[in-house]
Amino acid sequence: MDEPLNLERIDAVVRMIRTRTELKPEVGIILGSGLGALADDIESDARIPYDDLPGWPVSTVQGHMGQLVIGELEGKPVVVMQGRAHFYEGYSMAQVGLPVRVMQRMGVSSVFITNAAGAVNPDFEPGDLMLITDHLNLLGMMGQNPLRGPNLDVFGPRFPDMSRVYDRDLLALARKVGREQGMALREGVYVCLAGPSYETPADLRFLRFSGVDAVGMSTVPEATVARHGGTRVLGVSGISNKANLDGETLTTHEEVLEAGSVLGPKIIALLRAVLRAL
Ligand code: HPA
């Protein structure tokens, strides 16, 4: 389970995908909890259930479909993950990073990574979108980094820079199209925790004190792998709930999924506009 990835495992998946479609995607899109609807809009060349992809981490969580959709969106060739697997499901960080490695070998130059997140910043409200400007790699600091193990030199260096994980040009583009569309976009720092339990009020006070704006259970491993391989990253959090800093409210998965019905259309509109402007 904890075996690091090697190129053969990654390329076995790429070969499998190539038997279904010749399309060469330029942009990868990872859709988080309750945000899968975008994939339905794609003029698809192939829809491949994750079960058909050797070694691919399959999502077991409600709200996450499990298929890879390859086709065109806004005239751009894309590969879209409709649902993702998480560390808390029992996958290793390396397995969580496999899909991004596959996208990189398929030739993708940018990835748009989405998630549902709890607002640690008290100014944020459910339904808000937050552009991720940076992340706090708390799990990485504790040894859970998808790049652990032999370095895959074909992708990038042993010690990759992480000062600019979230691409400044893509951020500028997202701000610009957000303004044009009249969308109020928040910006901030995302933290990925292991989950699956939500945070205690003490956890949340610690995160707030550490400069975190939004908390979730994904994105950071994928963004780390993307950055290592020189892939440009745009990260967008859909704020699904207010984090429970004072211990007065409960956080439930149902509330996170419900927020997806509001957040989904907003995230879709933003990602489509960014794709058009690319
Ligand atoms: N905490 C952690 N992960 C989450 C949350 C939260 O409040 N909301 C959505 N994903």
The DSSP H or E segment spanning 65 is: none
> From the alpha carbon of 193, which atom of ligand 1 is closest?
2
Q: In this structure, which amino acid lies at residue 33? A: S
Residues 183-224: pLDDT tens digits?
A: 999 999 999 999 999 999 999 999 999 999 999 999 999 999
Residue having the nearest C-alpha atom to atom 7 of ligand 1? 118
Label residue 251 exposed, middle or buried (CB < 10 Å: 0-12, 13-18, 19+): middle
Residue having the nearest C-alpha atom to atom 5 of ligand 1? 118
Ligand 1 contact, 241 CB (< 6 A): yes
Compare 44 and 31 and report the one with higher pLDDT.
Answer: 31
What average pLDDT does range 157-162 have in this prediction? 96
- Over 60: is that where the pLDDT of 1 sits? no
> Thinking of the domain 21-241+251-277, which architecture would CATH place it in?
3-Layer(aba) Sandwich (3.40)
What average pLDDT does range 39-56 have in this prediction? 88
pLDDT score of 62:
67
- Over 70: is that where the pLDDT of 64 sits? no
Locus of tokens 């967008």: 236
CB 183 within 8 A of CB 266: yes
> Which residues are identified as catalytic?
33, 64, 86, 88-89, 116, 217-218, 241, 253
What average pLDDT does range 17-36 have in this prediction? 90
Residues 83-119: pLDDT tens digits?
A: 899 999 999 999 999 999 999 999 999 999 999 999 9
Ligand 1 contact, 126 CB (< 6 A): no
> From the alpha carbon of 116, which atom of ligand 1 is closest?
9
* Integer Cα distance of 41 and 259 in angstroms: 20
